[in-house]
Amino acid sequence: MEQEDDRYRAPALDKGLDILELLADIDGGLTQAEIAKRLGRSPNEFYRMLDRLVRRGYVTRIDGDRYSLTLKLFGLAQSHAPVRRLVSFATPFMRELAEETRQANQLAVFDRGSVVVVAQLEAPGYWGISIRVGSHISLYDTGSGHVLLAFRSQEERLMMINEYSRSTEHPTMAKEFFDRLDQIRERGYEMMPSAQTAGVYNLSAPILGPDGRAIASLTIPYITLVNVPQAPDITETLEILTKTTRQLSELAGAGTKQTA
């Protein structure tokens, strides 16, 4: 059986996959020589493969001579079928969230350089803020964008910003912006006035995967409801939201693997 398996080996493909799997476990990247040493090969064997991986967008060069994974594999993993599965198991929770809070809510993911709304639930009453499914929203001044960035390493944040900025202009990323992301990560949610609609507060919390990274953000565009009996205030609404995202994170496997 082993000999039969060897007949169908693809050495170039194996070499490329070895590089991707190695870099997936490394923070800060590796030089060509370090990659070769860890894989027990000559550095010259990897030059052309690394060049192709860079040109195809799976690997990037940092600090001149170090190689690191981009988010392209992550983007591929988020596309189509996985997103449908995410929406499928999130929808009942989103419906319950809308009923409990009397507010609309939406689910967003970072997909191949864009922040995309993949599901949304209307408020059960007459009033609420809704966003069309498929809308591309800002990475920099929305609760969803902040949460998707906050629950990533600094290296991954910069990659996301670079991928996003290919299709849109972005402001200079000051230290204060990254400090805010760290604060969001520490408290577990974002609460901010909407930069798009007056009188609305974005309440956003992450759905975490097994590695502790945000696979999606769940956001309530909170509006104060007048003359609506027993409508939760903004503090109660935020508590209900974070409870919902904890439940969804557990379903997604969060807590089964610890990362720094």
- CATH 3.30.450.40 segments of the chain: 75-251
CA dist., res. 223 & res. 104, Å (int): 9
DSSP 127-179: ------TT-EE-SSSSHHHHHHHHTS-HHHHHHHHHHHHTSS------HHHHH
Six token digits for residue 38: 């860890």
Domain 75-251 in CATH: superfamily? Answer: GAF domain (3.30.450.40)
Helical (H) or strand (E) element with 223: none
- DSSP category for residue 224: P
User: pLDDT 10s digit of each residue in the chain, 260 long?
Assistant: 444 456 667 788 888 888 888 887 777 788 888 988 888 888 788 888 888 888 888 888 887 788 888 767 666 655 555 677 888 889 999 999 999 999 999 999 997 778 899 999 998 877 777 788 888 888 988 999 999 999 998 888 988 888 887 655 555 567 899 999 999 999 999 999 988 887 889 999 999 988 888 999 999 999 887 777 778 999 999 999 999 999 999 887 765 443 33
- CATH 1.10.10.10 segments of the chain: 2-70
CA dist., res. 36 & res. 19, Å (int): 9
Residue of 214, 202, 200, 209 whose CA lies nearest to 253: 209
Cross-strand pairs, 204: 190, 219
Q: What is the pTM of this model?
A: 0.68
Report the CATH number of the 2-70 domain.
Answer: 1.10.10.10
